[in-house]
């Protein structure tokens, strides 16, 4: 494959440890990814040498911090292939990004009787903020369903869109099913009805190269910690025209131009949406994480992860009596499954005893659980630092646990 794994593992010292006296096998990457030493070192170096609040000083450290923060914004802009840096807003994460749009966009553009469309496979973070907006504005939430194999029935979109549809929010990649949705086509259809689209990229940015101009999406959101960066930092990309038209989300410092008790005028983009002191150390870490994966090459990452996905899926299916939820041809390294009749909590607990970390539970996707009439799932998710050896360890563990029931 395209890169040297031994060297890559060395970049992630956290992976080199034991859990319950066994080598730690981290297969919970869709929940959060590990940070390479380059990101950790960058944060350390910055924290040791530099600190001052950004945009607010004439002194040396304030200027250095501001430059580093704005440099991170440039890196994100290039990474997403956005047209302008003003279209890149730093937030605390995907959830805050979606809440920002769901509040500010809907405050301006959503009225009683209007409609918002989401999909049945969304993470709760891309359902609840829209539901809250619908309640505030007496609007209706509509849902694009998916088939049992995990494929979005995107052909139903045309029937769901009406002249009351104000926005469509769709996940690029399902956190439960791994399905890569045909977002470009969805955006094309939506735009033919003059409806803007928000893409939840939390699960896609670590695996798929993003070009927001080519996609022509109106909003794109993601989190730093799922792309080998720090927690507490995320991104909202929005087309300038929308961001200009939307009212600010949070009020406070940095987002203002001039404050009097009679009237406050707001700062220009992107600061209008960045009230308060931002998580600049997080933004700088995120910039370094993005540079790290760009150095590895997203194409190399994608093809290696696909290889891991195929290998794991085949070996899991060979065990027999194992159901995989989501089997579309186009999916990322996420395998949600049910083994025999073993409850996911039991399976997760016993896997942990064998040093293997997976996610169990409702995966922040109750509607997906309801679709398959299950109360929980077990999910293994892969990153480029995982190995075939780890997959074998996982398969052996499943066999051993099965024998206990």
Partner 1 sequence: MNIEEIQKEIISDFSVYEDWMDKYTYLIELGNELEPIDAAYKIDENLIRGCQSRVWLQQRLEGSLLFFDAESDALIVKGLVALLLKVFSGRSPQEILDTEPYFIDEIGLRQHLSPTRSNGLMAMVKQIKLYALAYKQIASQKK
CB of 124 to partner 1, least distance (A): 12
Residue 26 phi, psi dihedral angles, 5° rounding: -95, 105
CB of 380 to partner 1, least distance (A): 16
64 sits near partner 1 (criterion: CB under 8 A) = no
Part of the chain binding partner 1 (CB under 8 A), chosen from 102-110, 153-161, 208-216, 348-356: 348-356
Q: Which residue has the tokens 């927690």?
A: 231
Nearer to partner 1, 229 or 344 (CB): 344
350 sits near partner 1 (criterion: CB under 8 A) = yes
Part of the chain binding partner 1 (CB under 8 A), chosen from 58-66, 161-169, 304-312, 354-362: 354-362
Alpha-carbon distance 375 to 394, whole Å?
A: 23
Secondary structure of 207-245 in HEC code, one letter for each residue: CCCCCHHHHCCCEEEEECHHHCCCCCCEEEEECHHHHHH
Q: Which DSSP helix (H) or strand (E) runs through 37?
A: helix 37-49
340 sits near partner 1 (criterion: CB under 8 A) = no
Task: Give exposure, 221-244, as e/b (b: 16+ Cβ within 10 Å).
Answer: bbbbbbbbbbbbbbbbbbbeebbe
Please answer whether residues 26 and 13 qualify as being in contact, where contact means their C-beta atoms are separated by less than 8 angstroms: no
CA 359 from chain centre, in angstroms, equals: 16
321 sits near partner 1 (criterion: CB under 8 A) = no
Name the active-site residue from 106, 134, 217, 364: 364
348 sits near partner 1 (criterion: CB under 8 A) = yes
Part of the chain binding partner 1 (CB under 8 A), chosen from 83-91, 92-100, 213-221, 340-348: 340-348
Alpha-carbon distance 57 to 363, whole Å?
A: 44
345 sits near partner 1 (criterion: CB under 8 A) = yes
Part of the chain binding partner 1 (CB under 8 A), chosen from 114-122, 165-173, 262-270, 346-354: 346-354
CB of 404 to partner 1, least distance (A): 5
Nearer to partner 1, 33 or 360 (CB): 360
Supply the DSSP string of 105-127, one letter for each residue.
HHHHH--TT-EEEEETT--GGGT
Query: What are residue 24's DSSP bridge partners?
Result: none
CA angle 267, 273, 278 (to 5 degrees): 100
Part of the chain binding partner 1 (CB under 8 A), chosen from 82-90, 274-282, 338-346, 387-395: 338-346
- The binding track of 40-59 with respect to partner 1, each residue x by CB under 8 A or -, is --------------------
Cβ-based burial of 138 (10 A; exposed 0-12, middle 13-18, buried ≥19):
exposed
Nearer to partner 1, 270 or 348 (CB): 348
Nearer to partner 1, 254 or 346 (CB): 346
Among 264, 310, 349, 388, binds partner 1 (CB under 8 A): 349
Among 78, 120, 327, 346, binds partner 1 (CB under 8 A): 346
Please answer whether residues 76 and 236 qualify as being in contact, where contact means their C-beta atoms are separated by less than 8 angstroms: no
CB of 393 to partner 1, least distance (A): 16
Among 10, 296, 361, 395, binds partner 1 (CB under 8 A): 361
CB of 364 to partner 1, least distance (A): 9
Is-catalytic flag, 134?
Answer: no
- The binding track of 362-391 with respect to partner 1, each residue x by CB under 8 A or -, is x------------xx---------------
Supply the DSSP string of 147-202, one letter for each residue.
-TTS-B-GGGHHHH--TTEEEEEEESB-TTT-BB--HHHHHHHHHHTT--EEEE-T
Q: How far is CA 3 from CA 46, 235, 334, in A?
A: 29, 28, 21
Among 343, 357, 387, 402, binds partner 1 (CB under 8 A): 343
Say how many C-beta atoms besides its own lie within 10 A of residue 264's C-beta: 13
CB of 285 to partner 1, least distance (A): 26
Which two structure tokens, joined as six digits, stand for 349? 């607990």
Q: Which segments of 238-297 does DSSP mark as H helices, in order? A: 240-245, 280-296
297 sits near partner 1 (criterion: CB under 8 A) = no
CB of 344 to partner 1, least distance (A): 7
Active site residues: 364
Q: Which residues are at the interface with partner 1 (CB under 8 A)?
A: 20, 342-346, 348-350, 353, 360-362, 375-376, 400, 404-405
């Amino acid at each position: 494959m395209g890169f040297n794994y031994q060297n890559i593992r060395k970049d992630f010292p956290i992976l080199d440890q034991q859990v319950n006296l066994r080598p730690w096998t981290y297969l919970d990457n869709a929940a959060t990814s590990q940070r390479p030493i380059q990101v950790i070192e960058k944060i350390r170096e910055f924290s040791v040498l530099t600190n001052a609040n950004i945009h607010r000083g004439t002194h040396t450290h304030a200027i250095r911090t501001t430059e580093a923060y704005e440099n991170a914004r440039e890196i994100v802009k290039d990474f997403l292939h956005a047209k302008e840096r003003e279209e890149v807003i730093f937030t605390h994460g995907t959830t805050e990004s979606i809440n920002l749009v769901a509040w500010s966009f809907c405050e301006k553009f959503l009225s009683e009787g209007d409609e918002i469309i989401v999909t049945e496979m969304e993470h709760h973070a891309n359902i609840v903020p829209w539901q809250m907006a619908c309640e505030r504005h007496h609007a209706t939430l509509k849902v694009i369903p998916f088939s049992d194999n995990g494929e979005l029935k995107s052909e139903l979109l045309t029937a769901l869109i009406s002249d009351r549809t104000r926005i469509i929010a769709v996940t690029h990649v399902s956190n439960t099913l791994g399905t890569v949705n045909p977002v470009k086509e969805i955006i094309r259809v939506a735009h033919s009805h003059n409806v803007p689209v928000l893409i939840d990229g939390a699960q896609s940015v670590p695996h798929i190269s993003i070009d927001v101009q080519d996609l022509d999406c109106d909003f794109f959101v993601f989190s730093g910690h799922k792309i080998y960066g720090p927690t507490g930092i995320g991104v909202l990309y929005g087309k300038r025209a929308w961001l200009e038209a939307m009212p600010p989300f949070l009020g406070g410092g940095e987002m203002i131009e001039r404050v009097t008790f009679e009237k406050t005028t707001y700062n220009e983009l992107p600061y209008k949406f960045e009230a308060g002191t931002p998580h600049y150390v997080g933004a700088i870490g995120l910039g370094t994480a993005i540079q790290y994966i760009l150095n590895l090459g997203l194409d190399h990452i994608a093809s290696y992860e696909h290889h891991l996905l195929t290998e794991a899926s085949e070996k899991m299916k060979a065990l027999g009596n194992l159901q995989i939820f989501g089997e579309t041809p186009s999916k990322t390294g996420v395998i949600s499954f049910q083994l025999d009749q073993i409850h996911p909590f039991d399976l997760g607990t016993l896997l942990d005893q064998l040093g293997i970390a997976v996610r169990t539970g409702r995966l922040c996707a109750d509607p997906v659980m309801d679709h398959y009439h299950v109360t929980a799932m077990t999910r293994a998710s892969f990153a480029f630092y995982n190995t075939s050896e780890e997959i074998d360890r996982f398969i052996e563990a499943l066999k051993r646990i099965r024998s206990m029931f």
